[in-house]
Amino acid sequence: MNENLTAQSRCPVLYRDQWLLIVNKPAGILSHPNPVRSGKGAPPKGKPAAAAFQGNYHFEDRRFDTPAGPVWLIHRLDQDVSGVLLATLDRETAQSCRALFEKHEIQKRYLALVAGRPVPASGKWRDHLAERRQASFVRGFVRSSAHANAELRYRTLKFFQREQLALLEIELITGKTHQIRVQSAFHRHPVIGDGVYGNFMLNRKLRKDLGLRHIFLHAAQLGLKHPKTGQFLMIEAPLPEELQSGLDRAY
């Protein structure tokens, strides 16, 4: 990675031109810094986790001021989720990309290892998701409602008979907080390694048996029509070594 890119991103760069900067965010890296809180309920003091891009972050504008110039964050991944993360290098392109997200015109495909075998092997989950927010965390949950505001498509790529696990390709139609994790758990197929919504006993077993210490949820592909050139881009991020190793052990 050249000096200019190092001054912008802490993550491997998957694609870059004069408008877009698309990176492969590792697990453990924040998409953006957490807001500074004080008083009761504030997170414990200590060294803050690194964010995907360098420099100060402006929450209102969703912009990093990096040593190599401003970078606008277009979406986010949970801290423990790896994969493709989209940013732009100018405000106008940021507005165009955010509009594509709002119109659901950006393709987002994830790989997830889940407990059990979904029936049918491919299908759609449509639920109504709500959030419970406190000072130091946010939790999603499914609420009984005739109106579905969260939708995804899933497809079983591989079923591991011995461990009773399924590797799913998931396409997000909507984008809600913790959506895949909440819906998977609600439909009785929690994501392996999920320390909030998952099966904790199973997570402990698979940490020992398969070496899976992080959540097995990876943003593998992001597809979009380039807002400036009109070219369709499909950007892919390889599965992290730990997750791939866990799959290999499951065979």
Task: Tokens 């070496």: give the residue.
Answer: 211
Mean pLDDT in residue range 146-161 = 95
Asked if the model's pLDDT at residue 83 lies above 70, the reply is yes
CA distance 49 to 33: 8
Q: What residues contact 115, with CB distance under 8 A and at least 6 apart?
A: 164, 165, 166, 188, 189, 190, 192, 199, 202
Instruction: Using alpha carbons, list the distances in angstroms from residue 24 to 101, 103, 124.
Output: 19, 24, 27
**SS3 track for 76-109:** CCCCCCEEEEEEECCHHHHHHHHHHHHCCCCEEE
Spell out the domain ranges in the chain.
3-250
Question: Is 127 in the active site?
Answer: no
Percent of the chain residues topping a pLDDT of 90? 82
Q: Is 63 left (phi over 0), alpha (psi -120 to 50) or beta?
A: beta
Task: Choose the catalytic residue: 61, 65, 78, 80.
Answer: 78
Which superfamily does CATH assign the domain made up of 3-250 to?
A: Pseudouridine synthase (3.30.2350.10)
Mean pLDDT in residue range 177-199 = 96
Mean pLDDT in residue range 221-241 = 97
CA distance 55 to 193: 31
Asked if the model's pLDDT at residue 24 lies above 60, the reply is yes
Q: Phi, psi at residue 158, to the nearest 5°?
A: -160, 135
**pLDDT value at residue 5:** 53
Asked if the model's pLDDT at residue 109 lies above 90, the reply is yes
Contact between residue 61 and residue 73 where contact means Cβ atoms under 8 Å apart: no
Contact between residue 50 and residue 36 where contact means Cβ atoms under 8 Å apart: no
Which stretches of 82-228 are assigned E, i.e. beta strand? Answer: 82-88, 107-115, 122-127, 129-133, 138-142, 150-160, 165-172, 217-225
Give 111-140 pLDDT, tens digit per residue: 999 999 999 999 999 999 999 887 667 899
The pTM score is 0.90
Q: Which amino acid is at 66?
A: T
In a 3-state reduction of DSSP, which class is residue 136? Answer: coil
**pLDDT value at residue 7:** 67
Asked if the model's pLDDT at residue 2 lies above 50, the reply is no
Model confidence at 75, pLDDT cuts 50, 70, 90, reads: very high
Asked if the model's pLDDT at residue 99 lies above 80, the reply is yes
Asked if the model's pLDDT at residue 209 lies above 50, the reply is yes
Mean pLDDT in residue range 41-63 = 78
